[in-house]
Structure 1
Amino acid sequence: MKNYKKDFSDKTSHSSSSKLNVFTRKRIWQRVLIALFLSAGIIFAQKAGWLDQFSRQLTQQHMNWSNNSDVIAYLKKIVANNQLTKTSPHCLVYVINNDNGQETVRVEVREQHNSVCTNTRKDFPLLFTFEINRIQKTVQIDKGSPNHFYPIQ
Structure 2
Amino acid sequence: MTETSNAPPRLTRRRAPLTLRRRILRRVLMVVPMAGLVFLVGRMGWLDQAADKMTFSRMSWFDNTALVEHFRTVVTHNGMTSDAKDCLLFVLNGNDPPDATRIEVLEKHSGSCPGDRNTLPHLFTLQIDRLGQSAQTDWQSPGLFHPLPH
1:118 counterpart SS class: coil
Aligned length: 99
Moved over 4 A (4+): 58-61
What is the aligned counterpart of 1:147 among 135, 143, 150? Answer: 143
- What's 2:123 paired with? 127
Query: d(CA) in 2 for partners of 1:141 and 1:106?
Result: 9
The alpha carbon displacement at 1:63 in A equals: 4.2
2:75 counterpart SS class: helix
Query: d(CA) in 1 for partners of 2:111 and 2:72?
Result: 22
More helix by share: 1
In our comparison, the structure showing a higher alpha carbon Rg is 1
Aligned Cα RMSD in Å?
2.6
Higher relative contact order (CA 8 A, sep 6+): 2
- What's 1:73 paired with? 69
Percent of residue pairs bearing the same amino acid type: 31
**TM-score for both structures, normalised by structure 2:** 0.57
Which blocks of at least 5 consecutive residues in structure 2 are unaligned?
1-51
Query: d(CA) in 2 for partners of 1:115 and 1:76?
Result: 18
2:140 counterpart SS class: coil
Whether contact under 8 Å (1:60, 1:137) holds in the other structure is no
The alpha carbon displacement at 1:89 in A equals: 1.4
Query: d(CA) in 1 for partners of 2:93 and 2:115?
Result: 25
